[in-house]
Structure 1
Amino acid sequence: MKEIFVKGMTYGWNTTRGAYRTEEAVESMKKLKATGSEWIALSFFTFQETFSSTEIIFDYGHTMTDRDIEFAVLKAKELGLKVCLKPVVNTRDGLWRARIGFPADASVYWEKWFSSYTNFLLHYAELAEELGCEMFCVGCEMINTESRIAEWEEVIYVVRNVYHGPLIYNANHGKEDGVAWFDKVDIIGTSAYFPVAEDGDASEETMIKNWRKVRDKMYLLHKKFNKPILFVEIGCRSAKGCAEMPWDFLHTELPFDEEEQANFYSSVLKVFWDEPWFAGFFWWDWKTKLYPTEDAKLDVDFNIHGKKAELVLQEWYKKDVKVFS
């Protein structure tokens, strides 16, 4: 039987301190709830200076405060939404967090970094426990650190001492096999930005064919660790060609295409919805400040508000999840 199925959405990414506590953010969360979502991944970040820094800092000009997080969590609960708290470390030099790391033999640097990361994570794990968050994410797309098995197992061990709900780790698509310690978390997460369109063919049929290949690989991952799989990030911009590169956020010149985005949503929902080992979706992403609904066709970003993909998701999120025994 499925113990958990997340009908979710990532909320509030790439915003600065105070942004959760605005009237427009509250209204945005209400519109998120109207998609049929039952969960939010409350995802925010702080910095380390470079990919090779050993200290993670609280940036008083950027990082969400505990008061911001408490406000957002309590507002979500007021609306009937469950919360996965997802603190993330980015690099101020602009390199993707997957590059964070040091040479294999640089043990003193690894020790310093994991000490700082553990302190960072424990702060938010304690907050998640106090606020009653229903899930906690221990890391996101940190590919160059994932081979440090003993260090990650220790991180998860100490987090479990302060947070007693389910833990998830967010790997990156195609890199899941590099996480040998998935047995230590409760749910296997991945950023499922798999390229499912091909050579300009963004039909739903082509995407379904390619999602089935992904499904088969995810099933093997599930069997290896006997853990449910959750797409803790997944999405596609409403721009032509983006289903071939769903991770893309840079090519803002691409023309608006809500059909391609809607096909991306529909195809993966059809392939994964009834799989007994599959634990759901946190779609990427829903902003704290929404564009006016009438301007939806001017937006080529990930948000689905006012677009065809929103209607697709609403229909699926109305459905019951099939129970397996």
Structure 2
Amino acid sequence: MTYGWNSSRGAYRQPYALDSLRKLKETGSEWIALAFYTLQPNIYSTDIPFDYGRTMTDRDIEYAVKQAHALGLKVCLKPVVNSADGIWRAHIGFPEEEGAEPYWDAWFRSYANFLCHYAELAEELGCEMFCIGCEMVSTEKKTAHWTAVIERVRQAYGGPITYNANHGKEEGVDWFDRVDLIGTSAYYPIANKPGDSEEAMNRNWLPVKDKLARLHARFGKPIAFLEIGCRSALGCATMPWDFSHTELPASEEEQANFYGSVLKTFWEEPWFAGFFWWDWSVRLYPPEEAKTNTGFDIYGKKAESVLKEWYAKPR
């Protein structure tokens, strides 16, 4: 499960957060991706600042990691850079021309400093994996820069590292040989229509599975879905990434079919490493609100029952 995303500073240390983490553990999940972000001013900024009013503190992160470990959960620490102008981080970058190279150099220098701070923290806290980036699509072509970033991170952190590509863009990352595990945000639109059946979704996952199998063969690395999920709203399996269409009616069934289809498709693949479901909130809604909740959370919903059934299977 992804845990902690979009939480306010100090939220990890609240009683409701520990209650949420215990309920997450009850799903049978073995890992959390502790995901948090800082903001650079805009997509063309070359400096990534620590925001003393917003960014999660090291004390927050330390508390969450220790609580997760106490519950027997492993932790992938996942620091993310977003853009304060509201533009998706996939567009962070600069033109591909000679005059822009100093800007690329400056941004990657700042990004490496940002990452290495958290890589050191991940090492100190015994985090079992470290994620070096999420959906940074416009930067991925800068292979030499990413190689240098990875070398710096490995000096600070001794565990396995991963990178979270975006669905449909995985084949454009030429430096996946440098990470230990290939990650992707697998928000593939695998329903043909709102309310589609699990069987139809199963069929639509097959070409995705074939493509990812080729990616595995190319790099020889296991592949995990660093993000995967679908809101419990009608039509969201046609656009699993969606969070903006708040007018859609609730549909536990569509979310459950999405979960069931992806679990069935990838569970037995030897090259597939697992799922980090998006997402599990630090503050959960009351269980009686599960039927009307249209978010990504699965707490108290049919998709939670699907997941528990699969996670209870012997391996």
| TMscore range, shorter length | over 0.9
Which residue of structure 1 aligns with residue 246 of structure 2?
A: 252
Does residue 178 in structure 1 map to residue 172 in structure 2? Answer: yes
What is the root-mean-square deviation of aligned Cα atoms in Å?
0.6
Which residue of structure 2 aligns with residue 85 of structure 1?
A: 77
Of 287, 290, 293, the match for 2:284: 290
CA contact (8 A) 2:201 2:258 kept: yes
Instruction: Name the structure, 1 or 2, with higher relative contact order (CA <8 Å, separation 6+).
Output: 1
* Mapping for residues 106-121 of structure 1, pairs under 5 Å: 106-121=100-115
Does residue 61 in structure 1 map to residue 61 in structure 2? Answer: no
Output one character per residue of 1:241-293: Cα deviation in whole Å (capped at 9) or x when no partner. Answer: 00000000000110000000000000000010010000000000000000000
SS of aligned partner of 2:298: coil
Give the Cα–Cα distance (whole angstroms) in 2 for the partners of residues 155 and 136 of structure 1: 13
Structure 1: where are the runs of 5+ without partners?
A: 1-8
TM-score normalised according to structure 2 size: 0.99
TM-score normalised according to structure 1 size: 0.96
Of 16, 22, 26, the match for 1:24: 16
Which residue of structure 2 aligns with residue 216 of structure 1?
A: 210
Give identity over the alignment, percent: 67
Of 187, 197, 202, the match for 1:193: 187
Give the Cα–Cα distance (whole angstroms) in 2 for the partners of residues 21 and 131 of structure 1: 16
Which residue of structure 2 aligns with residue 42 of structure 1?
A: 34
Residue 51 of structure 1: how far off its partner (Å): 0.4
CA contact (8 A) 2:2 2:280 kept: yes
Counting matched residue pairs gives: 313
Give the Cα–Cα distance (whole angstroms) in 2 for the partners of residues 298 and 260 of structure 1: 14
Residue 199 of structure 1: how far off its partner (Å): 3.1
Output one character per residue of 1:191-214: Cα deviation in whole Å (capped at 9) or x when no partner. Answer: 000000013351001100011111
Which residue of structure 2 aligns with residue 5 of structure 1?
A: none
CA contact (8 A) 2:194 2:236 kept: no
Which residue of structure 2 aligns with residue 315 of structure 1?
A: 309
Q: Which amino acid aligns with 1:268?
A: V
Give the Cα–Cα distance (whole angstroms) in 2 for the partners of residues 154 and 14 of structure 1: 29
Give the Cα–Cα distance (whole angstroms) in 1 for the partners of residues 216 and 244 of structure 2: 33
SS of aligned partner of 1:42: strand
Does residue 233 in structure 1 map to residue 227 in structure 2? Answer: yes
Of 1, 11, 27, the match for 2:3: 11
Structure 2: where are the runs of 5+ without partners?
A: none
